[in-house]
A and B are shown apart, each in its own frame.
Chain A
Amino acid sequence: MMDTLILLSAILLSLFMIIPLYRAVMGPTVLDRFMGVNAIGTQTTALLIMIGFIYKRVDMFIDIALAYAMLNFIAVLAASRYFHKRKGLTEEMES
């Protein structure tokens, strides 16, 4: 019963991920793309634990989820620092 619920939730969650993916691919500015990637990373953290429940190996998948959350945070921080004072960041918006 509960396993079915978690399986269905995992499928639904991976379907929801298409919407931030649209924003990450089509986003008008670079920062929109970061935001989409950040949202996908947050949802993946939850999805990894659900996959752990499906394979009955939660203790292993939790470590992967923790590493993924840290990596996601570092990636967004580094990327947004990198584009800090970039000229041309707003030019895409006007076109």
Chain B
Amino acid sequence: MIILTSLVSGIMILAGLVFFLGGSIGMIRLPDFYSRLHSAGMLDTMGLMLTMGGMALYIIHDLTLNNVLSALKIILIVVFIFITSPTATHAIVDAGIRAGMKPWRKRGSEAGK
């Protein structure tokens, strides 16, 4: 049983690290501010969900009250991030639009709307 939970939580933590790496690389490679926000805001949230889920699963391998409470708190952090991450992303995009930044367009496609 403990081997199984350790295996699953280890796989989840490693998958979360892959998403964190993807989000970080996207922030360097993508061409403009708006498209960088796609990778920065969203892939990081997914990575956080996976790593936190893995650690919450690992912490309840021996069932005591304290450990269950800790796992519940980790889940609450994930829920909090899930609600606030779109709000923060939208606030940054809104500031960009109001400041008048033009979104990057691919060369050859028709000019913006």
Tell me the A residues contacting B by CB distance below 8 Å. Answer: 1-2, 5-6, 9, 12-13, 16-17, 19-20, 22-23, 28-29, 31-32, 34-36, 38-39, 42-43, 45-46, 49-50, 53, 58-59, 62-63, 65-66, 69-70, 73, 76-77, 80-81, 83-86, 89-90, 93
Q: Sorted from nearest, which 3 A-B pairs have the closest CB atoms? A: A19-B24, A89-B99, A80-B91
| Chain B interface mostly | helix
Query: Which single residue of chain B is at the shortest CB-CB distance from A59?
Result: B70
Task: Mark out the residues of chain B between 70 and 102 whose CB falls within 8 Å of any chain A CB in the assembled complex.
Answer: 70, 73-74, 76-77, 80-81, 84-85, 87-88, 91-92, 94-96, 98-101
Quick check: A38 and B73 within 8 Å, CB to CB?
no
Q: Which residues of A contact B20 (CB under 8 A)?
A: 13, 16, 43, 46
In angstroms, how far is the closest chain A Cβ from the Cβ of B82? 11
In angstroms, how far is the closest chain A Cβ from the Cβ of B16? 7
Q: A19-B25, A43-B20, A77-B87 are in contact. Are A93 and B51 (CB under 8 A)?
A: no
Once the chains are docked, how many angstroms separate the CA of A36 from the CA of B99?
A: 19
Query: Which single residue of chain B is at the shortest CB-CB distance from A42?
Result: B44
Once the chains are docked, how many angstroms separate the CA of A36 from the CA of B94?
A: 17
Q: Which residues of A contact B14 (CB under 8 A)?
A: 9
Quick check: B27 and A49 within 8 Å, CB to CB?
no
Q: Bin chain B's interface residue count.
A: 35 or more
Q: Which residues of B contact A28 (CB under 8 A)?
A: 33
Q: Which residues of B contact A65 (CB under 8 A)?
A: 77
Q: Which residues of A contact B85 (CB under 8 A)?
A: 42
Query: Which single residue of chain B is at the shortest CB-CB distance from A50?
Result: B55
Query: Which single residue of chain B is at the shortest CB-CB distance from A68?
Result: B77
Q: Which residues of B contact A70 (CB under 8 A)?
A: 80
Quick check: A90 and B101 within 8 Å, CB to CB?
yes
Quick check: A29 and B91 within 8 Å, CB to CB?
no
Point out the residue from B21, B70, B81 that lies within 8 Å of A62, measured CB to CB: B70
Q: A13-B17, A46-B51 are in contact. Are A22 and B91 (CB under 8 A)?
A: no
